[in-house]
Amino acid sequence: MDTFKVGFSRVNIDPPLGIGVHGYYKPRFASGFIDDLTVSTIALEYGDMRVLLMSIDLCELPTWLCEKYRAAIAERTGVMAENIFLSCTHTHTGPVSTHCTAFACDDGPVDTYRAFVGVRLQDGAQLALDTLLPAKMGFIVGWAPERVAYIRRYKMKDGSTWTCPPIGDPNIDHPIGTLDQRVNVLRFDREGGDTVVLMNYGLHADTLNVDLISSDWPGWMQRTFETAVPGTKVAFFNGCEGDVGSTHVFPEGGDMNDTLISFDNEMKSPGMARFVGRALAGTILQVYDKVEYVDVDGLAVLWKNVRVAANVPDPADLPLAHEYKRLHEECGDEGIPYSAMELTTVVAEALRMCDLENGPDHFDLGLCGLAIGPVALVGIPGEPFTAIGVGIKEAEGWKCILPLCLTNGCEGYFPMKDAFDEGGYEARSSVFKGGVGEAIIDGGISLLNELREGRQ
């Protein structure tokens, strides 16, 4: 009889100082370290089927680079490329990994770092496979505590829509959307080895606003839990976080303790990273001992392509878009009549318009699914809104469904259709037309249905 096995590894991917820091439309260059960046790899085996789940402390990796990395890992380890899931934690204090269009930076260090990460991914994959041990799996769904996450898109009293409006702004009316506070936890108890925990929750890893390298709150969560429960290792896989941040726009009580208001109207500081990380480690601690163990009778991987229309600009909007792009690149945004997140929004929108001036008219998005017995993971190559994860979790026949963002690619934001009518940073910067969110939900459910039918 085949035996379910699990392996784990963690390798360092710290960059050199001076490299561009990813995450905003303003230049930042690494001047030091708060903590390390790592890749945490979970290897799974059942019979002759092997799968690699790799959590990477970077903001994002483009699809073409993920394909290159996965091919190299496959050649090194023998694991099929389609069975390799590269998922970024979305830290906004990690280095750029490709040529940066948001601000000018030297491509030389970026090229060198990109090659280094490729080798470390291969190392991490091989090390995880080398530690495969018989294991059993349990799952449970926890609930995130208050003050950790908030919908960051708001309807204003004047009828406009803002992403990250000024804190305390009396024009704020209500958030647009509902949080999904479910925290998915998979626990792998390995015979003779550390217990491996996979944690999945949708929240931007953007609580610092510094030019120091850091894994942000996921690193705090990981270290806090592993210290509290010796003999465990945690890997974080971000969920549907496209419209979710950690800022309370009407702070009260101790909300402002050990934090600052950033340039983009958000509550950010090393103290915020510590708070969010500790709070979510506490969520895992609350449920860790009460997982439901299930039989893992096989592994299955399935990919599905979703075709969506491109958000091609109106030719009448292009002259202003090109002017804003010029002012952004040549003048550091001087002359663009906006500030804070409004400035970020119009710059991102202008860059999107210029990039799509000559098409294409559509994009193909690759969704990847993994069945671990009665539990399913769905990888999405970008930043989906919360409602997408909620929709995918409605698929029938699974004990637990974990949607993973920024997995095997980053194609931008995936808002729901109504967001394109409402406006806001995510929809105005998205390269997709309205309907992309709904298409991903339909594709994800179809993928899960096919995986379920294949198990029966």
270-307 pLDDT tens trace: 999 999 999 999 999 999 999 999 999 999 999 999 99
What pLDDT does 104 receive?
Answer: 64
d(CA 334, CA 336): 6
pLDDT, residue 29, reads: 93
Q: What's the CA gap between 414 and 380, in Å, rounded?
A: 10
Please write the tens of the pLDDT for every residue from 84-133.
999 999 999 999 987 655 666 777 889 999 999 999 999 999 999 999 99
| Angle at which helices 63-77 and 107-130 cross, to 10° | 40
**What is the full DSSP assignment across 41-98?**
EEEEEETTEEEEEEEE-SS---HHHHHHHHHHHHHHH---GGGEEEEE---TTSB--S
With 90 as the cut, is the pLDDT of residue 170 above it? yes
Is there a contact between 54 and 11 (Cβ–Cβ < 8 Å)?
A: no
Q: Quickly state the pLDDT bin for 436 (edges 50, 70, 90).
A: very high
pLDDT in tens, 232-275: 999 999 999 999 999 999 999 999 999 999 988 999 999 999 99
* Structure tokens given for 445: 């459910």
Q: Which of 229, 13, 15, 10 is nearest to 128 (CA)?
A: 10
Closest Cα partner for 236 from 299, 300, 183, 288?
A: 183
Write down the pLDDT at residue 351. Answer: 93
What mean pLDDT is reported for the chain? 95
**pLDDT interval class at 76 (50, 70, 90):** very high
Contacting residues for 253 by C-beta, under 8 A, at least 6 apart: none
Q: Is-cis flag, bond preceding 403, omega within 30?
A: no
- Model pLDDT, residue 105: 72
Identify the pLDDT of residue 23.
Answer: 85
Strands 49-56 and 32-33: unpaired
Task: Yes or no: say if 333 and 398 are a contact pair by the CB < 8 Å rule.
Answer: no
Of the ranges 51-60, 167-176, 328-337, which one carries the lowest mean pLDDT score? 328-337
Contact 369, 302 (CB under 8 A): yes
Cβ atoms of 138 and 9 closer than 8 Å = no
pTM of this prediction exceeds 0.75: yes
> Among 367, 346, 356, which residue's Cα sits nearest to residue 425?
346
Beta-sheet strands, E only, within 110-227:
133-143, 150-151, 153-156, 161-163, 172-175, 182-190, 195-201, 212-213
**pLDDT > 90: percent of the chain:** 93
> Rounded distance, CA 29 to CA 109, Å?
11
CB within 8 A of 305, min separation 6: which ones?
A: 364, 365, 366, 367, 443
How far apart CA 38 and CA 58 sit, in angstroms, is: 9
15, 217, 185: which is closest to 112 by C-alpha?
15
Is residue 372 over pLDDT 90? yes
Distance CA 215, CA 102 (A): 21
Phi-psi region of 424 (alpha: psi -120 to 50; beta: other; left: phi over 0): left
pLDDT at 73 (0 to 100): 98
| CA angle (252, 253, 254) in 5-degree steps | 110
Give the pLDDT score at 100. Answer: 59
* Strand, coil or helix: 168: coil
Answer whether 89's CB lies under 8 Å from 57's CB.
yes
**Can you tell me the mean pLDDT for 56-73?**
97
Mean pLDDT of 414-440: 95
Residue type, 298: G
Q: How confident is the model at residue 212 (pLDDT cuts 50, 70, 90)?
A: very high
pLDDT surpassing 90 at residue 44: yes
Confidence of residue 61 (pLDDT cuts 50, 70, 90): very high
How far apart CA 59 and CA 70 sit, in angstroms, is 18
Is the pLDDT reported for residue 2 higher than 90? Answer: no
The size of the chain, in residues, is 456
With CA atoms as reference, report the closest residue to 380 among 359, 401, 394.
Answer: 401
Question: Once rounded to an integer, what is the mean pLDDT over residues 48-75?
Answer: 98
Q: Are 421 and 341 in contact (CB under 8 A)?
A: no
